[in-house]
Amino acid sequence: MGIVLKIRCFAILLVFLGFLIRHRSSAEKVLFVPPPVGNSHWMNQAKIGLALVDKGHIVSVVVSGDIVEKRRAEWPDFQFEAFHDQGTQARLKEIQAQAVSAAGELSLFKTAEVFSMSQVIKEYCTLLLGDSNLVDRLRTSRYSVVISDPIFPCGAILSAYLDIRVPHITVWRLDSFAIDVKATGVPLPLSYVPHILTDFTDDMTFVQRLQNVVLSISVQIISRMLARIMYDELVRTYVGEEESIETVTSRTDLWLYRTDNVLDFPRPSMPNIVQVGGLNVQVVNPLTEDIEAFVQNSVDDGVIVVSFGAMGKTMSKERREVFASAFARLRQKVVWRYVGEKPTGLGNNTKLLAWLPQNDLLAHPKTRAFITHAGSNGLYEALHHGVPMVCLPLFSDQPANAARVVARGLGVRLDFSTVTAEQLYLSILHVVTINSYQETAARLSRLHRDQPQSPMERAVWWIEHVIKHGRLPHLRARAVELPWYQYYLLDVAVFLLAVCSAVLGTVWYSCSFFCRKFCCKSGGKLKSQ
C-alpha cells in the first residue's frame, strides 16, 4: 500500500509540474505605455492587463518614478519600469485639474490652457525616450507586444524604437491628434459619420453636415500639424530620418476601439479594428453593508446613482447647491459620488461618497437611473446593466456620447453649466417615470450582452493572436502607405480629365476642320454660279 501511495503521489506531482511548465511556457511579456494623464485611459489598460495576467502573461508598465510606488501598491500583479520625469507628471495633473474645473464654460482662453498640456506631454515623452537605462532594460526584457493609447503617441514611438519587429496595439476611444484616420486607412463619409467632438447624430441636417465637414477637415489639418511639430523630431531622432509620427503610428497592428454599435453609430472599419466597447464592465460584487442597507431602505422607489467623474472634486458651490436641491425633492434614494464641502441643501435621501462602486450599484435591481457626465466607461456600464441616463456632458467626447444616449432613447441631455434645480428634477422624474426609457435600456442591454465573447474576452483573444503570430500585415489596408493624391485618386482624375480633354479637343478640332472645308467649298461654288 505504501508503494502504491508513493507512486500515486509521484504521478500527481508530475502532472502538476507539467501543468506549471506548460502554463509558464505560454507566458509572454506584455508592455503597457499608458498616458501620463487621464485616469480612465489607464484604468482600461489596467483591466486588460489584469485579464492578461489571469491568462498567465507577464505585464509590465512604464510609469513616472514619482508614482511608481503608488502604482505598485495599487496593482501588485504588474511589474513597473520607472524613469525620472523631472516633475512633468505633477505639472500635467495641475493643468488637468484646471481644465476640469473650467469644464462646462470653456472659453477660447481656457481651451488654450487645455492645449498647453500637449507641450508638457511632449516633454514627458522626451524624458521617457531619452532615459537610456530604461530603454536598455526594456530591450533586454524582449517584450512580445507593446500596448499604448493614441492620445499619447509616445507609445508608438517607443515601440518602434525598441524593436521595429515587435507588434504594437492601441486601445482607443478618441485620438486627439486625428492621426488614426490616416493610420488606419478607414474612409469616413462625413455625410453620416459625425465628428467625435460634435453632438451630432448620424442623421444630420444640411447645416449640421456643413458644420461637420468644416470641423472635421479643420481639426484634422490643425491636429496633424500639431502632432508633426511635436513628435516628428523625436521620431527622426529615435526611429529614423525617413520616419514621421504618421508612419510610425500607421504600423500599428491592431486597434482595439472602445465602441459598440448598440450605442455608437455604425461607420466603416478595417479588419485590424476590433470593437471592444464595454470591456471596462467587471464582474458584479456585493455592496458593502452600509450601502446595501441604504439601497434597501428605498423600498419600491429605488435609487438614483450620481457620478461626474473627476469633475466631482472641483464642482462650484453654486452648481452643487443646484444638484443637492434637485436630489432632495426626489422620492428615490440618491447615492452621489462627491468630494468637498457638504451642500447646505442636501436632503436626507442623499448619501455622499468620496468613491462609489459604480458598476455594482448600476447592476443593483433597485437602481432606477444614472446621472452622469457621459464618460464612455460609465455609459457602457449603464448600457450593460440596462439603466437609463440623465447626461450632463462637460468636454471632449462627452457631448457626442450624450448625443448617442439621446438618439438611442436611453435618456436625456442637460447643460451642466446652466441647468436649474427645477429642470434637473423634472428631467430625472421624466426618465424614471416614463416606461419607454426603462424598456429601451433593457432591450439595448440584451443586445449588447448577446455576443459570442465578452468585450474583454475579445480584446484578450486578439492580443494573444498578435502575440502568437507576430505582426499582422495582411489585416492592414494598403491605404496607410498611399500618398494623399493616390488615396483620393487625384492622379487618376487628372489623367482621365486629360484624356477627356484630349478626346473632346480632337473631336472639336476635327469638326471645325471639316466645317471650314465644307463651308469653303460651298461658298466657292455659290460665287462661281
How far are the Cα atoms of 37, 238, 346, 517, 522 from residue 339, in angstroms, in the given order?
20, 43, 14, 93, 99
How far are the Cα atoms of 163, 273, 415 from residue 103, in angstroms, in the given order?
40, 31, 11
Give the pLDDT band (50/70/90) at residue 200. very high
How many helices and strands, by DSSP H and E, does the chain display? 20, 13
List the one residue out of 476, 463, 469, 485 whose CA is nearest residue 183: 476
Between 109 and 418, whose confidence is greater? 418
* The domain made up of 289-453 is a member of CATH 3.40.50.2000: yes
Give the pLDDT band (50/70/90) at residue 13. low
Q: What is the pLDDT of residues 248-266, one digit of tens each?
A: 999 999 999 999 999 999 9
DSSP 8-class letter at 329: T
Q: Where are the domains of the chain?
A: 27-279+457-481, 289-453
CB count within 10 Å of CB 61 equals 23
- Judge whether 395 and 106 are in contact, CB under 8 Å: yes
27-279+457-481 and 289-453 agree in CATH topology: yes
Q: E strands, 17-153, where? A: 29-33, 58-64, 79-83, 145-148
Q: What is the pLDDT of residues 428-467, one digit of tens each?
A: 999 999 999 999 999 999 999 999 999 999 999 999 999 9
The CATH architecture assigned to 27-279+457-481 reads 3-Layer(aba) Sandwich (3.40)
**Does residue 3 register a pLDDT over 90?**
no
How far are the Cα atoms of 291, 297, 353, 389, 442 from residue 302, in angstroms, in the given order?
13, 9, 18, 15, 16
**Does residue 105 register a pLDDT over 60?**
no
Rounded to whole angstroms, the Cα distance separating 253 from 255 reads 7
In this prediction, residue 520 carries a pLDDT of: 63
Burial status of residue 487 (CB atoms within 10 A of its CB: 0-12, 13-18, 19 or more): middle
Burial status of residue 272 (CB atoms within 10 A of its CB: 0-12, 13-18, 19 or more): buried
Give the pLDDT band (50/70/90) at residue 12. low
